[in-house]
Structure 1
Amino acid sequence: MSELPEPRFLDDRLAHWARTKPDAEAMDYLDRNWTWAQWNDRVRRLAGALKERGVGRGDVVSFLDMNHPACVELTFAAASLGAANAIINFRLAADELDYVINDSGAKLLVVGAEFKPVIDKIADKLSHVDQIITVSPEGDDEYEAMLDSATPVERGDDVDPEDVAIIMYSSGTTGRPKGVELTQSNLIAHIVNNHDGFTFDEGDKSMVSMPLFHVGGSSYVQFGIHDGVPSVMTREVDGGALAGAILKGANRTFLVPAVLAKVLEAGEDAVKLFAALKTFGYGASPMPLPLLRQALEAWPDTDFIQVYGLTEVCGVISRLMPEDHRNERPERLQSAGRLTNNAEVRVVDPDTLEEVPTNQQGELWFRTKQLMKGYHNKPEATAEAITEDGWFRTGDIGRVDEDGYIFVEDRLKDMIISGGENIYSIEVERVLAEHDAVVDVAVIGVPDDKWGEVVKAVVVTESEVSEKDLIAFARERLAGYKCPKSVDIVDELPRNPTGKVLKKELRKPHWEGRDRATV
């Protein structure tokens, strides 16, 4: 649809549509909607409000709420000043929130009204935040008052496309989240490189339902803006909200596979309603093959696009396109598709760092303009992840076949992906190890037909404690999706001669006979 020159700055297309079709619908949210001119004016006013509050190039602001257009506005407005929006996962527990907000260095925090009580409890720990603005779904709030009183400002002359625009927190090897710095040029490269998979036609509407703290939300929303079609944003990913968006005309979307499972379980009426979708992009967690085959049968006229990616590359790095879902090569349904445009892939032996032959397993490395600037305030972690010649070491084990299809088959990093959420085992282990009864712990991912995989803890204890008690202990200290769904209490953990826990042995009885890439 888009034949305009590639944007140079993140807000270029928003400004373009405000000029060329000011009265056309841009954003629909609950009972509110805005035209392109209105939405652009809100962004310019927000930029003015941020500037008045001392936000400038190199600074960070932060957003904490469920999905809300204000988050996208904050990204645009901050970027136009050369600042970054640190988008915080609203599912985090209080002690995780203060760590992330402090690590980001955010000067100003926009927080949803329902999360304000949590922020109030930790406000004295937020060492950099000097102003907290409350936002609500209805719009009768401090955020709207701030916009109303602000003087609009345009993008600053000193702003550079290589300025960081978004910081997203992804679990890290230390057990604490790492801030992934995505620049304006990173995000634009992601839009351009993947545009042929997420193209909109005149009359289309984009359903934005993935959480905006996830690249599946904040990167996906940019596709509709790029093509100048309306976005219908839902506050949550639930059946009623998704159905409502479709009834408003939304016909293209990106979601996690677990949503498909829920729709198919909901019955004939739900399946019929979702048939209105022209494109269903899915990713962020593996799609069980039986579920995918059921979906292909249920929606024969829908184009399915599977994506594989990482926060560090703004989201998508490979895609299994619609034609691959319905061709005569069913084995390709087990792949992550082929490399996106303007990117390179290598498969490297993680020990020798030598490239391996076609169809042999190794660590997947990618080189692309979508690659993050680095991990926020963590130069050593950045140097470990990105080679001197610009290759990103994913920590994922996979192979590339003779036709260029990428198969992701295991992980070097001990990451669990459950329902599209990345969970780092060491983060859960760190919490469980604090329980008085626990003397040793290992956390693994085990297969689950709905979520792809879920968290399981294997613990050694020195006193009486139940599985229920340990799960409850974790729930008090971690976001719900990170908590173990089951706990095995054992006499000892399997270890190699050097003392390293053999998690492969713990996983084996759960994954045996299953293809890890497809469950």
Structure 2
Amino acid sequence: MPLKKVCKMDNWLKKRASLTPKRMALSYHEQNWTFAELQQAVLETCTHLVGQKVQTAKRVAVLGNNTSQLYFTILALQQLGIEMVLINKNLALPEIEYQLHDANVDLLIYEDEFQSKLQPLKSMTLISLNDLHDSISADASSFIKDEFNLDQVTSIMYTSGTTGNPKGVMQTFRNHWSSAIGADLNLPVTAKDTWICAVPLFHISGFSIMMRSLIYGMNVRLYEHFNPELINQDLLNGKGTIISVVPYMLKKLLSLKDSDYSEKFSYMLLGGGAIDRKTLEICKDSNINVIQSYGMTETASQVVALNLADAIRKLGSVGKPLFPVSLKIKGATKPNQIGEILLKADNITPGYLNHSAPITNNGWFATGDLGYLDADGFLYLKSRLSELIISGGENIYPLEIENVINQFPNIIESAVVGKADSTWDAVPVAFIVTDSMINLKKLTAYLTSNLAKYKVPKKFIVVDKLPKTHNGKLQRKKLQSQI
């Protein structure tokens, strides 16, 4: 049997520092690093990691905020060929313990802010970032990887756990490379761009920006957290050309915007959930280019995007598959037929950690999302397969109802879930967030005039806010328990 050829590439950081050493790589607060300076900072971090014998670990967990130190540490672990488990900083200790145990991690690098939370961990070696950089250093040169094996796992991120226990998504260098190349072939992005990163580095949205910076040779402007006032000022002053946002971030920026952004500003890349038509129309009127996209942790960022040229004509669509991505709708034989979205591409995970069951079916990855392709091949999302409400034999897609509810005056956002019903099996119930009192009878009449009767929610529950994960994904399971 012939041996499988191992595909390798030059170490991305070393290559980028060699090609464009003086080009800006990272901005954080008032500090800036060129790629040569970034490489030096990362290599210094490597010496401290080696001083702590971290290079002997196969897998290391990392917990922290968006800081330059965390940025350097992530890249340093990659230089040493160590798999990283990126921990969501918002998790409770039992959730963190579950992931550390599931990933068989015995070493956790963390920022001091989380020390008290982590104190109860007894069987875990803990190293704070501050202690790391104050610790003894050792020659790391022999441990730095000259090449990256494209099929080697470099990062592991746990799914948000909106349904069931989260699973560790393995991401290879090939996954990140293919994702970056696919995006570059579709999005207007150049080495002259500065990508604002206010999304977490522990999510694929933030981590993918780091990888693209090395591959494209562009600058990353890093923020500790989403600060809409500061980001709006930076966009006004031309300190960023591209920004990744989720719907909440986009709406918050819109609410604070009082003048046009700098002419250097290019677009907002929108992911992390559905956006309502009203917000998109406000963006259009405000001269804000929004590129809607569709992707997930399992696909190492977006696999579908709506080009600027089609944004108005195909309002509501998430676009077409990126060049290296194949997409089809399960069971669909003609346009506009709804079914599960299936994908095939090199940026799709090789699997979930500790789960032997394959995640592909004849080479196709089943996303668990429902959608359809129109006659022009543009993808429209309907809902998660698990969120589908079947009422009296009729399929009800929560997103469709939410889009109509959100058009009603004074409603900020909404979420629709199914409630068990002895007659219809299930009926829709709506949770709504408002900025003032609304007349529920008028809302019901409005919905009845715009939706089939079986789609109109049988009950409305007004709440202060909707439960979401840190990256803005709605947690319908939590709403289900409140019915």
Task: Indicate yes or no: 2:250 matched with 1:260.
Answer: yes
CA contact (8 A) 2:155 2:172 kept: yes
Q: Which amino acid aligns with 1:91?
A: N
1:168-187 to structure 2, matched below 5 A, reads 168-172=157-161, 175-187=164-176
Aligned partner (choices 334, 340, 345) of residue 322 of structure 2: 340
CA contact (8 A) 1:234 1:245 kept: no
Q: CA deviation at 1:339?
A: 0.6
Task: Indicate yes or no: 2:27 matched with 1:28.
Answer: yes
Cα deviation code 1:337-391 (max 9, x no counterpart)? 0011111112114xxxxx54332111111011001021111223xx2x322x321
1:140-219 to structure 2, matched below 5 A, reads 141-146=130-135, 149-153=137-141, 155-156=144-145, 160-172=149-161, 175-201=164-190, 203-219=192-208
SS where residue 379 of structure 1 aligns? coil
2:279 counterpart residue number? 291
Task: Indicate yes or no: 2:302 matched with 1:312.
Answer: no
* TM value normalised by structure 2: 0.76
Q: Which amino acid aligns with 2:421?
A: P
Q: CA deviation at 1:66?
A: 2.1
1:441 counterpart residue number? none
Q: Flag the 1:254–1:9 CA change in 2: closer, same or farther, 3 A.
A: farther
SS where residue 372 of structure 1 aligns? coil
Q: CA deviation at 1:230?
A: 1.8
CA contact (8 A) 2:195 2:219 kept: yes
Q: Flag the 1:99–1:27 CA change in 2: closer, same or farther, 3 A.
A: same
* TM value normalised by structure 1: 0.71
CA contact (8 A) 1:9 1:185 kept: no
Q: Which amino acid aligns with 2:200?
A: P
Q: Flag the 1:228–1:267 CA change in 2: closer, same or farther, 3 A.
A: closer
Aligned partner (choices 368, 376, 382) of residue 409 of structure 1: 382
1:133 counterpart residue number? 128
Q: Flag the 1:452–1:160 CA change in 2: closer, same or farther, 3 A.
A: farther
CA contact (8 A) 1:200 1:224 kept: no
Task: Indicate yes or no: 2:340 matched with 1:363.
Answer: yes
SS where residue 85 of structure 2 aligns? strand
Q: Which amino acid aligns with 2:326?
A: E
1:249 counterpart residue number? 239
1:386 counterpart residue number? 360
Q: CA deviation at 1:24?
A: 3.4
User: How many residues are paired up?
Assistant: 417
**Equivalents in 2 of 1:286, 1:339: separation in Å?**
17
Identical aligned pairs, as a percentage? Answer: 23
Q: Which amino acid aligns with 2:248?
A: A
Cα deviation code 1:74-99 (max 9, x no counterpart)? 33332333322111111112221221
Cα deviation code 1:383-429 (max 9, x no counterpart)? 2x322x321101111111222111111221349xxxxxxxxxxxxxx
Residues 194-203 or 164-173, more deviating: 194-203
Task: Indicate yes or no: 2:421 matched with 1:494.
Answer: yes
**Equivalents in 2 of 1:451, 1:259: separation in Å?**
14
CA contact (8 A) 2:62 2:109 kept: yes
1:228-239 to structure 2, matched below 5 A, reads 228-239=217-228
Q: Which amino acid aligns with 1:101?
A: L
Q: Cα RMSD between the aligned structures? A: 3.4
Q: CA deviation at 1:220?
A: 2.6
Q: Which amino acid aligns with 2:21?
A: P
1:84 counterpart residue number? 83
CA contact (8 A) 1:75 1:166 kept: no
1:469 counterpart residue number? none
Q: For structure 2, which runs of at least 5 residues remain unmatched after alignment?
A: 1-6, 389-397, 432-442, 456-473, 475-483
SS where residue 89 of structure 2 aligns? coil
